[in-house]
Amino acid sequence: MISKMPDARFKIQEKFNQRPCRVVHHVSYIMHQAPYMFMSFVVSLLILLLTSCGGKEVKPVSPESKLAQEAIVLAETIRNAYIKNDRETIEKHSTSDGYRELIGVIKNFDSVELTFTPTWVEVENSTVSLHVSWKGTWVVGGKRTEERGVAVFVFEGRPLKLARVKRENPFRQPE
């Protein structure tokens, strides 16, 4: 049986329609504009993605850059070998003269902390000069000694090997 009495929902709707609400108008406007705003956002994102992933060529790494990277890695390898007192690794990555020079200045220590910061690399023919700023802390017989300086590692040959250390040798323990 269908009731002749108007439903409460319709009364509320009639009152709502009589007094237009600005908030509802704005919400309605936003709801109608939302698909367009979303589409413009998606299109902008696609344009940004396409232009940022343009066909720019990646330049190949130059031979000098590869040598510089190899010298930096080699200096770190020798530093780690020094910290572990691994003379075999030091010998493997040094020329005979370079090894003799290093062994001549290395003294016994209980522990050492040594950090290298590469500052400059010069490449001339088959010689690479790596300038490093270094800081070290040695502990010998309970006595702690700190030192810092700048050294130039000279690497020669293929593959690179340490030929000599110029300026302040970081492997020379302070007295």
Question: Which pLDDT tens digit goes with each residue over 66-75?
Answer: 888 999 999 9
> 73 and 157 in one domain?
yes
In this structure, which long-range contacts are made by residues 89-95, counting pairs with CB atoms below 8 Å and at least 24 apart in sequence?
93/161, 93/162, 94/161, 94/162, 94/163, 95/156, 95/157, 95/161, 95/162, 95/163
Residue 156 lies in a domain: yes
- Amino acid code (one letter) for 44: S
Is residue 2, in this structure, part of any structural domain at all? no
Q: Residue written as tokens 């780690």?
A: 80
Alpha-carbon Rg of the chain, whole angstroms?
36
**More confident of the two residues 2 and 154:** 154
* Helix, strand or coil, per DSSP, at residue 129: strand
pTM of the model: 0.65
Same domain assignment for residues 97 and 149? yes
Q: Which two tokens stand for residue 116?
A: 């290298």
Strand 143-156 versus strand 161-167 pairing type: antiparallel
Structural domain that includes position 86: 63-167
What is the domain-level CATH number for residue 68?
3.10.450.50
Domain count, the chain: 2
Same domain, yes or no: 67 and 141: yes
Residue-wise pLDDT for 63-109, tens only, equals: 888 888 999 999 999 999 999 989 999 999 999 999 999 888 888 88
**122 belongs to a structural domain:** yes
Q: Are residues 131 and 93 in the same domain?
A: yes
Same structural domain, 83 and 151? yes
